[in-house]
A and B are shown apart, each in its own frame.
Chain A
């Protein structure tokens, strides 16, 4: 079976919407219904967070969701079961995002095999160094056709940008600012200049812009410079305030896409 990220980007080159949420948040069993509803509402890629006790790249909103999920009892093995159940109902690509330590303790090889078997298409591990990837992940990921997505930021050098493009499969995660997640409401001139450099560079992979995408304006702005954008903290915040998850998700995606 072909990698669903590859398939998606073959068909869709613009306005790709990826939405991040933390597995096990707000309730332990919400992982499945959130993913299903997101896809129904028009989300192209589901990015599911593996909660971690010390998420240093994340701002307060996602930190809090990680804590709630862990307090709810979320574990990697349960998360993979939930993904498997979700996979049987959606055909959109599923990407797992998490920190390295839980993956290490689960066992790298076992994790990759079990993730693939659960229907996962790609991984984002922000604290995975390139060398560690090449030594311990790459061969297995390639043989499983599991994408690994690396990050770049406004301060990433040109040389390193090319390295990120070489290492990544599926897509590249362009972080919009030098910041943790959930930190801004609009883009400034420096960011737009940086997006312009993303647009003009020739990439092997499609580029998605993430961090600071919180409304229709920032989403459509990001899409002008890339294949699409990733929303995380703004969605978690919407879930946090939600009384009816399905309704919240429908409205959230519509507003983001400018259809409301």
Chain B
């Protein structure tokens, strides 16, 4: 079975490019050029150079001794939280800014939820001297204040999205509208494996460096390139796709995606897309989508701004449908407790998005010899205020 994108931009039943004509030339320009550009030797040399010297890759694959004792398995943490800017998001923004430059674009726009993608975009724009506008839900701007200021310090304009629930979905709508209104000089850096083809494939390729490194590091540390489990949180699903990518064809590797259950899957305040979603079309692709019977998108909820999205990348919808990956969900409370637990067990304060993946360890049954790789997608600095407000530590 194949998990790569087909010629028309689909992963099985999901994907495609459902876009209004106003976006067609921009998206078509990308579709026609992204492989040719990213496969150039000079592109790859610059990409690899920046990942190494600017981002700080490879990130460690850290054997978590005390966590392993607690769960009675061999648990490795892929330390994406140690990337420059504090999360995996910058792997993709480095790739896309080089692509934008190759296409001759002078302005960059982006959407952001938790602000990590916004910061990663503002960072690479500063690095390359390109104009940067980031759309962010007004609610997210309030709950992720430090990241808003980081973007501003880096020289980006942060524009509040005031429609809907004022979160990631609404920021994405506004960024798409901006792109419609500025079609020629602007590149839109989407931050996850969502959006019209070729975005999901493009972002997956840029993030695939995560699993590429994991394979090499596992050989060094265990003698075997494949683990028994790879665990990662899923909002749109970019860090999970990066961690899964090079294991997709290794059928014995169990891929676990962890979604945000918010106040509980059945509470009406949740972002657990695979549990609650049906096939639908949003932001340019067909995917699983939380929606009413009448096809209106349901406003998602999670304590974590980065998982607060009503859809999921089309490739994850495909992995779910084909049962190549399993998806579980974690409530706000479980995630917060797991965040504290990791802080005290390993000395690492995780992002609240990542804390969902950590909480999933409680839900899985491991054998003593199992090798588990958990993608530690981001660090918790940006979430201190949420930890403080939650207060139970």
0/1 interface trace, chain A 169-191, chain B, CB 8 Å (1 if under):
00000010011100100000000
**Interface pair A175/B281, CB less than 8 Å apart:** no
Residue of B nearest to A128 (CB): B18
Residue of B nearest to A77 (CB): B294
CB of A220 within 8 Å of the partner chain: no
Q: How far is the CB of B10 from chain A (nearest CB, A)?
A: 10
Interface contact tally, CB-CB below 8 A: 105
* A126: contacting residue among B17, B20, B294, B296, CB under 8 A: B20
**Interface pair B295/A76, CB less than 8 Å apart:** yes
Q: Inside 8 A of B21's CB, which chain A residues have their CB? A: 126, 150-153, 156, 164, 175
Q: How far is the CB of A98 from chain B (nearest CB, A)?
A: 9
Q: Inside 8 A of A160's CB, which chain B residues have their CB? A: 24
CB of B159 within 8 Å of the partner chain: no
**Interface pair B295/A56, CB less than 8 Å apart:** no
A179-B181 contact given A57-B20, A127-B19, CB 8 Å threshold: yes
With an 8 Å Cβ cutoff, the count of chain A residues facing the other chain is 39
Q: How far is the CB of A56 from chain B (nearest CB, A)?
A: 5
CB of B16 within 8 Å of the partner chain: yes
CB of A61 within 8 Å of the partner chain: no
**Interface pair B294/A75, CB less than 8 Å apart:** yes
Q: Inside 8 A of A104's CB, which chain B residues have their CB? A: 279-281, 295
CB of B375 within 8 Å of the partner chain: no
**Interface pair B20/A129, CB less than 8 Å apart:** no
CB of A132 within 8 Å of the partner chain: yes
* Residue of A105, A157, A180 with most chain B CB atoms under a 10 A cut-off: A105
A191 to B164 alpha-carbon distance, docked (Å): 33
Q: Inside 8 A of A63's CB, which chain B residues have their CB? A: 163
B269-293 residues with Cβ-Cβ distance < 8 A to A are: 278-284, 289, 291, 293
0/1 interface trace, chain A 20-61, chain B, CB 8 Å (1 if under):
000000000000000000000000000000001110110100
Q: Inside 8 A of B184's CB, which chain A residues have their CB? A: 155, 178
A180-B177 contact given A53-B164, A53-B297, CB 8 Å threshold: yes
Q: Inside 8 A of B279's CB, which chain A residues have their CB? A: 104
**Interface pair B180/A57, CB less than 8 Å apart:** yes
A165 to B293 alpha-carbon distance, docked (Å): 34
A149 to B47 alpha-carbon distance, docked (Å): 43
A102-116 residues with Cβ-Cβ distance < 8 A to B are: 102-106
A28 to B19 alpha-carbon distance, docked (Å): 29
CB of B183 within 8 Å of the partner chain: yes
Q: Inside 8 A of B284's CB, which chain A residues have their CB? A: 127
A54 to B294 alpha-carbon distance, docked (Å): 13
A104 to B13 alpha-carbon distance, docked (Å): 14
**Interface pair B183/A105, CB less than 8 Å apart:** no
**Interface pair B181/A105, CB less than 8 Å apart:** no
A67 to B165 alpha-carbon distance, docked (Å): 12
CB of B374 within 8 Å of the partner chain: no
Q: How far is the CB of A155 from chain B (nearest CB, A)?
A: 4
CB of A101 within 8 Å of the partner chain: yes
B2-19 residues with Cβ-Cβ distance < 8 A to A are: 8, 16-19
Residue of B nearest to A183 (CB): B181
**Interface pair A100/B20, CB less than 8 Å apart:** no
Residue of A nearest to B175 (CB): A56
**Interface pair B296/A52, CB less than 8 Å apart:** yes
Q: Inside 8 A of A11's CB, which chain B residues have their CB? A: none
A129-B297 contact given A56-B176, A178-B183, A183-B181, CB 8 Å threshold: no
Residue of A nearest to B293 (CB): A105
CB of B173 within 8 Å of the partner chain: yes
* A70: contacting residue among B17, B293, B296, CB under 8 A: B296
A105-B280 contact given A76-B294, A155-B25, CB 8 Å threshold: yes
CB of B216 within 8 Å of the partner chain: no
Q: Inside 8 A of A202's CB, which chain B residues have their CB? A: none
Q: Inside 8 A of A127's CB, which chain B residues have their CB? A: 18-20, 281, 284
Q: How far is the CB of B238 from chain A (nearest CB, A)?
A: 20
A102 to B295 alpha-carbon distance, docked (Å): 4
Residue of B nearest to A102 (CB): B295
**Interface pair B25/A54, CB less than 8 Å apart:** no
A56-B177 contact given A63-B163, A104-B281, A105-B294, CB 8 Å threshold: yes
0/1 interface trace, chain A 187-211, chain B, CB 8 Å (1 if under):
0000000000000000000000000
CB of B22 within 8 Å of the partner chain: yes
**Interface pair B20/A105, CB less than 8 Å apart:** no
* B295: contacting residue among A67, A105, A156, CB under 8 A: A105
Residue of B nearest to A173 (CB): B21
A54 to B181 alpha-carbon distance, docked (Å): 17
0/1 interface trace, chain A 123-153, chain B, CB 8 Å (1 if under):
0001111011000000000000000001111
Q: Inside 8 A of B280's CB, which chain A residues have their CB? A: 101, 104-105
Residue of B nearest to A156 (CB): B21
**Interface pair A105/B291, CB less than 8 Å apart:** yes
Q: How far is the CB of A68 from chain B (nearest CB, A)?
A: 12
**Interface pair B281/A101, CB less than 8 Å apart:** yes
A139 to B263 alpha-carbon distance, docked (Å): 46
Top 8 nearest A-B pairs (CB, nearest first) are A105-B295, A102-B295, A126-B20, A151-B21, A57-B20, A53-B296, A101-B295, A155-B25
Given A101-B280, A153-B24, output 11 extra A-B contacts at Cβ < 8 Å: A56-B180, A67-B163, A102-B296, A105-B278, A105-B294, A126-B20, A151-B21, A153-B25, A155-B24, A155-B183, A175-B22
Q: What are some 20 contacts across the A-B interface (CB < 8 A)?
A: A53-B164, A53-B296, A54-B164, A54-B169, A56-B20, A67-B163, A100-B18, A102-B296, A104-B281, A105-B278, A126-B20, A127-B281, A129-B19, A155-B22, A155-B24, A157-B25, A160-B24, A175-B21, A179-B22, A179-B181
